[in-house]
């Protein structure tokens, strides 16, 4: 595939939602998101693909088979579609590629298959899943979780963004129908395989031969909201022994999370925090922090969490504060379909097979349909930040690899 084709399509979405930081503010159901959705619709129309929006706000562009053929009558989905795609939304000031690269590559792959004269024997679809990052409403992979029934729609409707707007309100404001969200088993049954192409989020491929890798597994991970409650008081006149300062317990908790993760062999991050009343000259009344923990297996994840909880509870006792922890999302370990993974890696000339500690819609879908992921080399290794990078050559190679996989599975 020629890099010019990638660049031309990429240039169309690159400015949408870009902030002065060089990062992106592409949150679900905001102006930027609606512009990206419109772009997706235009791309589908331009190619004569059938456009669809499901009840959960996920978008599809379908290249239907002229005449459906049964490829493998013993397969669980003999007529099922091969779906590719990813997400448009970003974390606050996230990189350009995380998500959109998988969608753009889907359109380029279909273009390449058509120029090569390929004909699908089963439908090939491109999906854009909504709110994959949880960057606005807190729960990652919300669109795919809703579709697969992994989150209660009542809970989803009531999720709030940092301004207190609920998902239901945001969907209504964007002209979508929140009353309809929820499991969509019939749609899921029509999918025979899902292939998500994604920017690599580390440097496993840097310096190597291959611009593309295949994912083996996703580390189990989750997000917890931790609320520290104390007593607000004057910053000058309250004697140190009289204070019940939740900021102290919070500070201890950040260090404890790191220590427990290091000892057990996982990672833990506190990247978001809010203090009330957030005044320079007052002791805080509450501090709310979001804890993100990931580990190579479930046992290590539980070890980190239980160590964290007991150390922080003990510390709160000494500080005269209270601490409460609630899970916002939990994502079990994912082992991608072994047959599909091997088939894809072999097709791509023995591409490296690597695990990841990042979450994806592919992880959610893998509990229901055979799923594989392709990673495109990232020379900086940075992700969820403006420094995320990929060369046009590698992006074009990624789209060509995706085209080869779609052809193998569907044509």
Q: Which residues bind Mn ion (CB under 5 A)?
A: 98-99
Please say which residue, 57 or 359, places its beta carbon nearer to ligand GLV.
359
State which residue, 159 or 358, has the beta carbon closest to ligand GLV: 358
Task: Kindly give, in sequence order, each residue whose CB lies less than 8 Å from that of residue 44, ignoring residues fewer than 6 positions away.
Answer: 50, 51, 61, 126
- Can you tell me which of 92, 95, 222, 359 binds ligand GLV, judged by CB under 6 A? 359
Can you list the alpha helix ranges (DSSP code H) found in 159-245? 167-173, 185-189
Spell out, one character per residue from 20 to 49, where the chain touches ligand GLV: x when CB under 6 A holds, - when not: ------------------------------
Distance CA 172, CA 179 (A): 9
Q: Which residues within the stretch 115-134 sit at the binding site for ligand GLV (CB under 6 A)?
A: 133
Which listed option, ligand GLV, Mn ion, none, makes contact with residue 246 (CB within 5 to 8 Å by class)? none
Beta strands 353-356; 212-218: pairing state: parallel
Binding mask 172-211 toward ligand GLV (x if CB under 6 A, else -) reads ----------------------------------------
C-alpha span between 360 and 94 (Å, rounded): 15
Taking the complex as a whole, the smallest distance from the CB of residue 368 to Mn ion amounts, in Å, to 19
d(CA 29, CA 34): 6
Q: Alpha-carbon distance 316 to 245, whole Å?
A: 9
In this structure, the number of other CB atoms found within 10 A of the CB of residue 403 comes to: 25
Measured from the CB of residue 205, what is the shortest distance to ligand GLV in angstroms? Answer: 18
Q: Which is nearer to Mn ion, 98 or 303 (CB)?
A: 98
Give residue number: closest CB to Mn ion: 98
Task: Give dist(CA 62, CA 125) in Å, integer.
Answer: 4
Cis-peptide, bond into residue 287, ω within 30° of zero: no
Question: In angstroms, what is the minimal distance from the CB of 99 to ligand GLV?
Answer: 8
Pairwise CA distance, residues 354 & 332, whole Å:
18
> Which of Mn ion, ligand GLV, none does residue 140 bind (CB under 5 to 8 Å by kind)?
ligand GLV
Shortest distance, CB of residue 142 to ligand GLV, whole angstroms? 12
Closer residue to Mn ion in complex, CB, 33/303: 33
Hey, CA dihedral for 88, 395, 217, 368, is it positive or negative?
Answer: positive
Q: Which does 359 bind (CB under 5 to 8 A by kind): ligand GLV, Mn ion, none?
A: ligand GLV
- How far apart CA 371 and CA 336 sit, in angstroms, is 6
Give whichever of 10 and 129 is closer to ligand GLV, judged by the CB atom: 129
99 contact choice in ligand GLV, Mn ion, none (CB below 5 to 8 Å, kind-dependent): Mn ion
| Choice between 118 and 333, CB closer to ligand GLV | 333
Of the pair 102, 211, the CB lying nearest ligand GLV is at: 102
| 100 alpha carbon, distance to own chain's centre | 11
Q: Does 358 bind ligand GLV (CB under 6 A)?
A: yes
- For position 140 contacting ligand GLV by CB under 6 A, the verdict is yes
Please identify which residue in the block is written with the tokens 């949880």: 134
Q: What is the smallest separation between the CB atom of 357 and ligand GLV, expressed in angstroms?
A: 7
Q: What is the separation of C-alpha 87 from the centre of its chain, rounded to a whole number of angstroms? A: 7
Give the number of residues in contact with ligand GLV, rule: CB under 6 A.
Answer: 4
In the complex, the smallest distance separating the C-beta of residue 182 from ligand GLV, rounded to whole angstroms, is 23
Rounded CA separation 383/378 (Å): 9
Handedness of CA 141, 144, 148, 151 (dihedral sign): positive
Report the residue count for the chain.
411
Residue 17 interaction partner, one of ligand GLV, Mn ion, none, beta carbon < 5-8 Å per kind: none
**Which entry of ligand GLV, Mn ion, none binds 89, CB below 5 to 8 A by partner kind?**
none
**SS3 label, residue 271:** strand
Residues that bind ligand GLV (CB under 6 A): 133, 140, 358-359
């Amino acid at each position: 595939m020629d890099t010019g084709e990638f660049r031309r399509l990429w240039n169309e979405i690159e400015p949408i939602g870009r902030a002065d930081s060089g990062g992106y503010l592409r949150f679900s159901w905001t102006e930027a998101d609606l512009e990206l959705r419109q772009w997706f619709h235009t791309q589908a129309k331009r190619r004569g693909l059938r456009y669809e929006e499901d009840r959960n706000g996920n978008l599809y562009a379908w290249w239907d088979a002229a005449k459906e053929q049964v490829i493998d009558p013993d397969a669980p989905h003999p007529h099922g579609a091969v779906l590719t795609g990813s997400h448009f939304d970003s974390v606050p000031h996230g990189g350009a590629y995380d998500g959109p690269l998988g969608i753009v590559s889907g359109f380029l792959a279909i273009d390449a298959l058509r120029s090569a004269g390929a004909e699908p024997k089963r439908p090939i679809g491109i999906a854009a899943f909504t709110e994959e990052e949880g960057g606005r409403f807190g729960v990652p992979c919300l669109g795919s979780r809703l579709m697969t029934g992994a989150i209660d729609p009542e809970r989803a409707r009531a999720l709030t963004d940092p301004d207190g707007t609920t998902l239901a309100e945001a969907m209504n404001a964007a002209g979508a129908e929140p009353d309809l969200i929820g499991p969509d088993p019939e749609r899921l049954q029509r999918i025979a395989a899902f292939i998500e192409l994604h920017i690599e989020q580390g440097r496993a491929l840097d310096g190597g031969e291959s611009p593309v890798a295949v994912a083996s597994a996703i580390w189990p991970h989750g997000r917890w909201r931790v609320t520290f409650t104390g007593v607000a008081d004057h910053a000058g006149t309250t004697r140190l022994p009289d204070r019940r300062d939740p900021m102290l317990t919070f500070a201890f908790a950040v260090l404890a999370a790191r220590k427990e993760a290091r000892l057990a062999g996982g990672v833990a991050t506190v990247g978001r925090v809010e203090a009330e009343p957030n005044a320079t000259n007052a002791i805080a009344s509450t501090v709310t922090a979001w804890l993100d923990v990931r580990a190579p297996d479930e046992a290590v994840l539980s070890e980190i969490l239980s160590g964290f909880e007991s150390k922080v509870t003990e510390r709160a006792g000494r500080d005269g504060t209270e601490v409460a922890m609630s899970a916002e999302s939990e994502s079990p370990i994912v082992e991608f379909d072994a047959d599909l993974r091997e088939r894809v890696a072999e097709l791509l000339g023995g591409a490296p097979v690597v695990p990841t500690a990042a979450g994806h819609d592919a992880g959610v879908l893998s509990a229901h349909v055979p799923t594989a992921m392709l990673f495109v080399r990232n020379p900086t290794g940075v992700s969820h930040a403006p420094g995320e990078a990929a060369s046009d050559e590698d992006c074009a190679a990624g789209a060509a690899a995706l085209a080869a996989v779609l052809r193998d599975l569907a044509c």
